[in-house]
Amino acid sequence: MQNASPYKIPAQTRIGHVHLKVSNLQRSLDFYCGLLGFEVTMTYGQDAAFISAGGYHHHIGLNTWQSKGASPAPKNAPGLFHTAIVYPTRKELAVILQRLQAFEYPLTGAADHGVSEALYLNDPDENGVELYWDRPQEEWPRKPDGSLDMYTRTLDLASLLTTLS
């Protein structure tokens, strides 16, 4: 790669979907669809499913092709850190927080990053999941040179929930 000419990925590029290896397909569907509200768009036999928000063909693929009944991946090994799911508004993030609390589903963290507010949890296979909303770009913290000045501060969950009143 040292001799590769500089290349800038097109600004319109986006991440299309994530495909997760899971140990129990139904348990994962219960989490992603039953708790988080995704919808099944297609199943592939009894070993895979594709799920989405809003009718897209799929945001998340789930399969047990190589992982049925397996233990979670070790925390200290290379692999996926988390899947990030963007909510359209702060209020929608508060709605899912309230739902997680109602189901007593544990968070692993909650952070204000300046550019976003985020909830962190693990799915049944201990894959990290980030649920967040982005603040408008004009509110993002910036350094004097214009670059981002993101940070990690504790998210005030009570304040987040006030958006529901």
pLDDT at 31 over 80: yes
- Residue 74 domain flag: no
32 and 96 assigned to the same domain: no
85 and 162 assigned to the same domain: yes
160 and 92 assigned to the same domain: yes
- Residue 120 domain flag: yes
- Residue 146 domain flag: yes
pLDDT at 138 over 80: yes
106 and 43 assigned to the same domain: no
38 and 103 assigned to the same domain: no
Q: Can you give the pLDDT at residue 3?
A: 75
Cβ–Cβ under 8 Å, residues 127 and 31:
no
Helix H, strand E, coil C: the string for 87-150 is: ECCHHHHHHHHHHHHHCCCCCCEEEECCCEEEEEEECCCCCEEEEEEECCHHHCCECCCCCECC
Q: Can you give the pLDDT at residue 70?
A: 96
24 and 98 assigned to the same domain: no
pLDDT in tens, 58-117: 999 999 999 999 999 999 999 999 999 999 999 999 999 999 999 999 999 999 999 999
- Residue 124 domain flag: yes
Q: Can you give the pLDDT at residue 1?
A: 62
The boundaries of the domain holding residue 31 are 16-69
Please give the model's pTM, rounded to 2 decimal places.
0.93
